[in-house]
Chains A and B, each alone.
Chain A
Amino acid sequence: DQQVKQNSPSLSVQEGRISILNCDYTNSMFDYFLWYKKYPAEGPTFLISISSIKDKNEDGRFTVFLNKSAKHLSLHIVPSQPGDSAVYFCAASAIYGQNFVFGPGTRLSVLP
């Protein structure tokens, strides 16, 4: 039973355009969410987080939106750059900062 789902295994976007990566979760106890980026042969690196008391968090080109009623969050990258090409993982936690459950990842390809 997958508690965190990323239904798009891959996404291709033109450089300069917006990338939107989606994540759905089933556990209503989740209240803290993270996005990680992973390049091949490297460990995932933390990108941005959001807690359930907010519906939006922004950091430079990256914005995460949370819709608690729909149990859905999304990561927006604007403008997309070729260096953003990586696998993006959504992660959720029911206890602040602990025991994150990861989604299967979405491979983003930003085309020049």
Chain B
Amino acid sequence: EAGVTQSPTHLIKTRGQQATLRCSPISGHTSVYWYQQALGLGLQFLLWYDEGEERNRGNFPPRFSGRQFPNYSSELNVNALELEDSALYLCASSLLQGKDGYTFGSGTRLTVV
């Protein structure tokens, strides 16, 4: 069974540009979560999608947005990139109310220069 896949693995953007990160969940999982791990910090919750709807978002500005497609894959968009957006972005999937928590992908390393 394929795990959670994220693309690209690395992304370098210039300040002010837009970045698009993609995530494919485990087959059968309907919930997709996005987390940011900045250097030296823990995993900061960004967004949660389930059945195509945004269910919750963390304490991030509106330039962080995303969507979930009918096949449950998801996209995270970061507009007007700032240097401090440089981080590892992790996507995870689960069944709704999955008791074993989330299955994470390997992440996308975004570098803003």
Binding site for B on A (CB under 8 A): 4, 6, 32, 34, 36, 41-46, 49, 89, 91, 95-105
Shortest Cβ distance from residue A56 to the other chain B in the assembled complex, whole angstroms: 17
Q: Contact: B99 with A46, CB < 8 Å?
A: no
* Contacting pair B99 A43 (CB below 8 A): no
Verify A49–B42 contact, CB threshold 8 A.
no
Kindly list chain B residues whose C-beta atoms are within 8 Å of the C-beta of A91. Answer: 43, 101
B2 at interface (Cβ–Cβ under 8 A)?
no
From B44, B98, B101, B106, A43 is in contact (CB under 8 Å) with B106
10 contacts between A and B (CB under 8 A): A36-B104, A41-B106, A42-B106, A43-B107, A44-B104, A91-B43, A96-B99, A99-B56, A102-B35, A104-B42
Question: Is the CB–CB distance between B106 and A102 below 8 Å?
Answer: no
Query: Would you call A44 and B97 a contact (CB within 8 A)?
Result: no
Which of B35, B96, B100, B107 is A49 in contact with, Cβ under 8 Å? Answer: B100
B62-90 interface with A by 8 A CB criterion? 90
Q: Which residues of B contact A (CB under 8 A)?
A: 4, 31, 35, 40-45, 48, 56, 90, 92, 94, 96-107
A46 touches B100 (CB 8 A): yes
Complex Cα distance A105/B42, Å? Answer: 6
The docked-state distance in angstroms from the alpha carbon of A83 to that of B103 is: 20
The minimal Cβ–Cβ distance linking A53 to chain B, given in whole angstroms, is: 13
Contact A104 B41 (CB under 8 A): yes
Are A102 and B43 closer than 8 Å at their CB atoms?
yes
Q: Closest Cβ of chain B: how far from A96's Cβ, in Å?
A: 6
Q: Is the CB of A43 within 8 A of B100?
A: no
For B41, the chain A residues whose CB sits under 8 A away are 104
Contact present for A43 and B104 (CB under 8 Å): yes
Q: Per a CB cutoff under 8 Å, which of A32, A42, A44, A99 touches B48?
A: A99
Chain A nearest CB from B51 CB (Å) reads: 13
- Chain B residues whose CB sits within 8 angstroms of the CB of A89 once the complex forms: 42-43
A43 to B4, CA, bound (A): 9
Residue of B nearest to A5 (CB): B42
